[in-house]
Amino acid sequence: MQATDLEKQIGELLSERGWTLAVAESCTGGLLGHRITSVSGSSSYFQGGVISYSNEVKESILGVPEETLIEHGAVSKETAQAMAQGARRLLGTDVALSVTGVAGPTGGTREKPVGLVYIGLAAEGADLWEKYIWLGDRTENKEQSAQAALELLLKYLTI
């Protein structure tokens, strides 16, 4: 996969500020990190990521409170926010992104259907999240989620 203008623009903006980036991914399974690292030189701003597919990893590595997972579930704005905060803290970065959702085709419920995704962003003085319900297949849902996370980061960097 070759870097798109979006990844390059994000890299330039992070580099200009001297900022670092981390990610915490669940349903995208590393796709977000892959897209970020498709830019040559991304090692100057991208510190790494955690693929936290299980609740145990969300809790033990990222520090998502057990109460959050019990009360709101893994697919929730609260968990997305906690994942982003945890990645930022764990990897010591200026900004972090998170993605958690139901990629499908199985795993959906009436309350949390296939395609439901929450994206989080944590930075100094910022705790943002967005909710989406994608209508694609598993691959399309993952791709749209990674794209939306990058777009949220770009929006934050250009405010």
Neighbours of 8 (CB within 10 A): 15
Parse the chain into domains and list their residue ranges: 5-157
Contacts of 46 (CB under 8 A, 6+ apart): 20, 21, 22, 33, 36, 37
| Bridge partners of residue 99, in order along the sequence | 25, 119
Residue 89's alpha-carbon distances to 14, 53, 61, 107, 153, in angstroms, are 18, 19, 11, 30, 17
State pLDDT tens for residues 32-85. Answer: 999 999 999 999 999 999 999 999 999 999 999 999 999 999 999 999 999 999
Decide if 109 contacts 35 (C-beta within 8 A): no
CATH fold for the domain made of 5-157? Maf protein (3.90.950)
Q: How far is Cα 112 from Cα 94, in angstroms, rounded to an integer?
A: 31
Assessment of whether the complete model's pTM goes beyond 0.85: yes
- Residue 110 sits at φ, ψ, to 5 deg, of -60, -40
**Percentage of residues in the chain having pLDDT higher than 90:** 97
Contacts of 105 (CB under 8 A, 6+ apart): 114, 137, 138
| Bridge partners of residue 126, in order along the sequence | 123
State pLDDT tens for residues 1-19. Answer: 566 899 999 999 999 999 9
Residue 89 pLDDT more than 80? yes
Predicted confidence band of residue 159 (pLDDT cuts 50, 70, 90): confident
State pLDDT tens for residues 107-143. Answer: 999 999 999 999 999 999 999 999 999 999 999 999 9
